[in-house]
Structure 1
């Protein structure tokens, strides 16, 4: 250690002043437990899930997700109030499986706002390679982000169904029918959450610019649904009802509608109320699962490039 007085430069052999200082800044070796990849993955999942609702972030970041969550809950509560107040009512105004389809615009807005928040900032500020240093690896990052986004959407869509179910029991509707419908609704929104979450993250991960990610998600969710619904209506009105069920394969919203119509006893929103049967419904389900798997694969490929 240097022994000269701080601030007094010493001379080198050539006579030049030597301003070198060696300070003891107190670094100590870490002897605590090393929690490993599983802990890091769970922490990233929890942080991403909280961030989807603005928790742990600024007050401004909480406004939109909390407003959307509040609207989803408020609409469900109003439906329950109507069911309880109207005499001789034996069912809810909207089926459990229909609620997310009816509210799909709000779900798309939530996804458009929160998917870029989850991944675009890491890309923009080039912090992704830091995640891929040990102990966390690329697969841990993708799994944590995918699971967190799907979980956030499941909370957004599942909590209103819980309110509807409790309200139906309060109104003394048939317990078996309501429990069956509630279970079918929860399966539907779980599938919707995986599909929407994967698509939203892929679109958001393609650009570090959050604004572009928001626009891409909104366009994909709303334009495809509007276009498919319009073409379906035209096909139905021109006497081609068989084409309607196949057109539903080209929009995330109509994909979920087709799956739940075929397998979960839902009433279809397709023109004429004729959704796909079990045969075509199997194609719908296969496409949904393929899109979820493809979203995961694209994210893995995207972050393989980022991590290099």
Structure 2
């Protein structure tokens, strides 16, 4: 009996149909808000290396420890000596530790955005129910939150230590609140500036160098000019010169409205009118940074 064979396939035809059991998704659609929260959470965790390799955790955790260690030492000294005031005011701590804060921004701002640019994954985000504003808001908020944790944690250590040293509760709470307002403003300003610079280039190394330059060079130039003005008895110009550096902007705002003493040469505090100008410049920089990021990612997402 003859055996029937299946018809031969044309030479070179490798067509196959496979049943892979694909099924449509019938579950809940969580929408933009869930996607935005997830991106914020993932970015905030990434700012401290959580969920990433051990190597990625070393620098942010080291910088966090460096930020908190001097505060812990001051608390120990205050408790041991039964001091009535902390040696460094809450509002001045972040100004003193500005180098550590700038290094943190320089290392984590490119980490937040440069990889998405380098590997061209930004359009994939926008293929989901998430828009440019959601992406920018999540990244901005996550880095600002990471900076607030970095700068607020040592203030909390100081506050708890002050209470353990039996310093006045109401007085310390007021000073601690002023310090939190100051570092919150600093966190928003530094996050905005760092992200704008990092979003310009997909090269992380270039982003790190650029952020460090923007954070340090203007400060050096401003303090030099302020010192010259102080030596030449032009003290009235010192507050105006402080408008041209991120850290002196924060210093000017807290000196004008949060009871701090300016760290400018000569210790000249801005007047109330100059303080208003400082606040407006800081808010303009924060809003401008957000606007530039939104504009940047509208182009990248195409």
Equivalent residue, structure 2, for 1:220 = 214
Report matched runs for 1:205-244 at 5 Å: 205-244=199-238
Equivalent residue, structure 2, for 1:84 = 79
Equivalent residue, structure 1, for 2:14 = 19
Against the structure 1 CA distance between its residues 305 and 84, is the aligned structure 2 distance closer, same or farther, given a 3 Å change threshold? Answer: same
Show structure 2 runs of 5+ residues with no match.
none
Distance 2:120 2:189 in 1: 27
Equivalent residue, structure 1, for 2:139 = 145
Structure 1 residue 57 corresponds to structure 2 residue 52: yes
2:63 to 64, 68, 76: 68
Deviations 1:217-243 (A, max 9, x none): 100101111110111001111111111
| TM-score when normalising by structure 1 | 0.95
Contact in 2 for aligned 1:142/1:300 (Cα 8 Å): yes
Structure 1 residue 160 corresponds to structure 2 residue 154: yes
Cα RMSD (Å): 1.4
SS at match of 1:93: coil
Report matched runs for 1:213-292 at 5 Å: 213-292=207-286
| TM-score when normalising by structure 2 | 0.97
SS at match of 2:291: helix
Structure 1 residue 125 corresponds to structure 2 residue 119: yes
Deviations 1:30-49 (A, max 9, x none): 11111100000000000000
Deviating above 6 A after TM superposition, structure 1's stretches of 4 or more consecutive aligned residues are none
Against the structure 1 CA distance between its residues 9 and 106, is the aligned structure 2 distance closer, same or farther, given a 3 Å change threshold? Answer: farther
Against the structure 1 CA distance between its residues 9 and 198, is the aligned structure 2 distance closer, same or farther, given a 3 Å change threshold? Answer: farther
Distance 2:106 2:71 in 1: 22
Deviations 1:118-172 (A, max 9, x none): 0000000000011111301111000000000000000000011111000000000
Tell me by how many angstroms 1:19 deviates. Answer: 2.4
Deviations 1:31-74 (A, max 9, x none): 11111000000000000000000000000000000000011111
SS at match of 2:266: helix
2:179 to 179, 185, 200: 185
Deviations 1:243-302 (A, max 9, x none): 111000000000000000000000110111112011100000000000000000000000
Show structure 1 runs of 5+ residues with no match.
none
2:8 to 3, 7, 10: 10
Contact in 2 for aligned 1:10/1:17 (Cα 8 Å): no
Equivalent residue, structure 2, for 1:175 = 169
Deviations 1:18-39 (A, max 9, x none): 3211111121111111110000
Deviations 1:167-222 (A, max 9, x none): 00000011111011000000000000000000000000000000010001100101
Deviations 1:85-105 (A, max 9, x none): 114x21001000000000000
Structure 1 residue 103 corresponds to structure 2 residue 108: no
Against the structure 1 CA distance between its residues 17 and 84, is the aligned structure 2 distance closer, same or farther, given a 3 Å change threshold? Answer: closer
- Greater displacement, 18-27 / 261-270: 18-27
Distance 1:61 1:33 in 2: 35
Distance 2:60 2:274 in 1: 36
SS at match of 1:10: coil
